[in-house]
Chain A
Amino acid sequence: MKGRGWLTAAIVAGVLYWSALGTGFSLPELSENLPAIGEFFRKLFPSDGKPWPTDALPEITKRLIETFRIAISASLFGSLLALPLPLIASRTLAGKTLYTFGRAVLNLVRSVPDLVLATLLAASFGIGPMAGFLALLVFSFGVVGKLLCDSVETIDPGPMEAIAAAGGTRFQQAFCAVFPQVGPDFLAYTLYSFEINVRAASVLGVVGAGGIGMVLQSSLSLMKYTQVGLVILITFGVVFLIDSFSTWLRGRLV
């Protein structure tokens, strides 16, 4: 055991050394750059008694609202689309071949990072919230679908068997015995995907997919750093509040 511990440590050390070489990361380099990092964060705040750039507030509010619209509709429609997934991707309701296929598709969908998807969609649909909406829709579909299928696999099989014994079809089993049992779970997963989507939607704009990230991107390229600071503070504050509220609500659901 002791020998294996050392071996693992040696492998980890080797991988980290290799990574440090590949990324040009070193402690001297870091300490050399620390002042520049501090300087950047200082620039985000107004200095010499200058005020915050409040003239940007209408645009910020508009894009912030767009962020929520993207997150809300993507989470809801993604989750609704995921609702029939247990029929093809849960061991409880699907046959073995269908199950393997369904799970493979779900894994594939979930493995595409949302920003990659948003980038592609923005490039093909054009700049705007539509790309963000579709990217997060796919994300919600994947994550809610997976969690819902996992949930369906752990239900009490009694009611299902009773319906089957009475001659009920697979669909009747699904609607009368399975879905009622996972209802609260489904709501909790929808909320969970909403939390992640609010966070994601607030940065999607940096690849042109709508939301508050668009203001961030334009203020950055115009080098209006206090405006960047204001956007970050407002976004972060609001996202934090929504996140906490949603977590609290989820706790009450389960």
Chain B
Amino acid sequence: MRAWRVFYTLLVVALVGWSLGGIQNSAPPNTKEIGEIIRQMFFPPKLSYLPDVLTGIRESIQIAALGTAIAAVLALPFGVLAARNLARLAALPFVGKLLLNAIRTFPEILLAIAFIKSVGPGPFAGVLAIAIHSIGMIGKLYAERIETVDKGALEALAATGASQLEIFRNGIVPEVLPDFLSFALYRFDLNVRSASVLGLVGAGGVGTLLQIQRLGGNWPEIGVIVIAIVVTVLLVDFFSAKLRAKLA
């Protein structure tokens, strides 16, 4: 037991040493310059740029809201497919979960790039990227929730002669609906964060401004953008947690 522990520790240490060895930049960082950058970004913040940034933030929130709503609907069939207790065939939930995992692992920035290249840059591509990517997580949460539905109630419904569809509509939907809304709200929370960076590759929202100002090296503008993103993320986080607590 002890020997294994030493072995694992050495393995981890070797792995980290090897990893760190690969992280070198061509030029060493200039600490003086970084201090100057931080000063330009935040002291004082360039408030005259704020109206532009707020327009970007609004677009990011719109992208997140629409993307989440589409995903919340598209995830329904996946959730039903991946739920173990509804399956007629044992293989279906396995396939469903594998599919959802695959969707979840595929980075949304890559999706955004793909949509930009096909439909052109702008918030439209951002909505599509978020809608597709979010199906993975929402669908998984749906499936797990459906799996905890009380079996007794379903059997009771079946005993009254209810059809499969009726059982689904009267036995499952009312019980899981508040939680489903709560999952969507949680994902919206995460999506606001995503939608604020998708613009870095051209998919609309406040990230678009970040990308433009980064190329120009305009640190005062970048400072305002960063502050706005952080405040938005914190606010949405706060209200979404409040709403979710009410739903539960």
Contact = CB atoms under 8 A, between A and B. Distances in A.
Contact of B66 (A16, A29, A66, A206): A16
B119 A66 contact: no
Interface residues of A, number: 60
A246 B197 CA distance: 27
B117 A123 contact: no
B123 A22 contact: yes
Nearest to B58: A22
A40 interface: yes
Contacts, number: 161
Contact of A69 (B18, B27, B200): B18
B107 A68 contact: no
A206 B69 contact: no
Interface in B88-117: 101-102, 105-107, 109-110, 113-115, 117
A116 B106 contact: no
Interface of A: 12, 15-16, 18-20, 22-25, 29-30, 33, 36-37, 39-41, 65-66, 68-70, 72-73, 76-77, 107-108, 111-113, 115-116, 119-120, 123-131, 133, 199, 202-203, 206-207, 210, 216, 220, 232, 236, 239-240, 243-244
A111 B113 contact: no
Given A16-B69, A76-B16, A203-B110, A113 B123 contact: no
B65 A36 contact: no
| A-B pairs, 4 with minimum CB distance | A40-B118, A69-B22, A19-B62, A23-B123
B19 interface: yes
Contacts of B18: 69
Contacts of A131: 25
Given A22-B58, A199-B105, A202-B107, A130 B23 contact: yes
Contacts of B115: 37
Q: How big is the B interface, by class?
A: 35 or more
A129 B23 contact: yes
A33 to B, nearest CB: 4
A66 B19 CA distance: 8
B28 to A, nearest CB: 9
Contact of B214 (A33, A123, A239): A123
Determine which residue in B16, B22, B109 has the highest number of CB atoms from chain A within 10 A of its CB, and name it.
B22
B200 A65 contact: no
Contact of A20 (B66, B109, B194): B66
A40 B123 contact: no
B82 interface: no
Nearest to A199: B107
B66 A126 contact: no
Contact of A24 (B21, B113, B124): B124
A112 B37 CA distance: 17
A130 B233 contact: no
Given A22-B59, A25-B123, A128 B19 contact: no
Contacts of A202: 107
A24 B122 contact: yes
A23 B109 contact: no
Given A68-B19, A126-B26, A207-B200, A29 B230 contact: no
Interface string B2-38: 0000000000100110111111111101000110010
Given A65-B22, A239-B105, A123 B210 contact: no
B126 A72 contact: no
Contact of B113 (A66, A68, A124, A206): A206
Contacts of A120: 214, 222, 226
A36 B217 CA distance: 34
B59 A112 contact: no
B176 to A, nearest CB: 15
Contacts of B126: 23
B63 interface: yes
B226 A112 contact: yes
B247 to A, nearest CB: 10
15 contacts: A19-B65, A25-B124, A33-B119, A36-B119, A66-B22, A73-B16, A76-B16, A111-B233, A113-B196, A113-B233, A128-B24, A199-B105, A206-B200, A220-B117, A240-B101
Contact of B25 (A112, A113, A116, A129): A129
B224 interface: no
B234 interface: yes
Nearest to B222: A120
Contacts of B118: 33, 36-37, 39-41
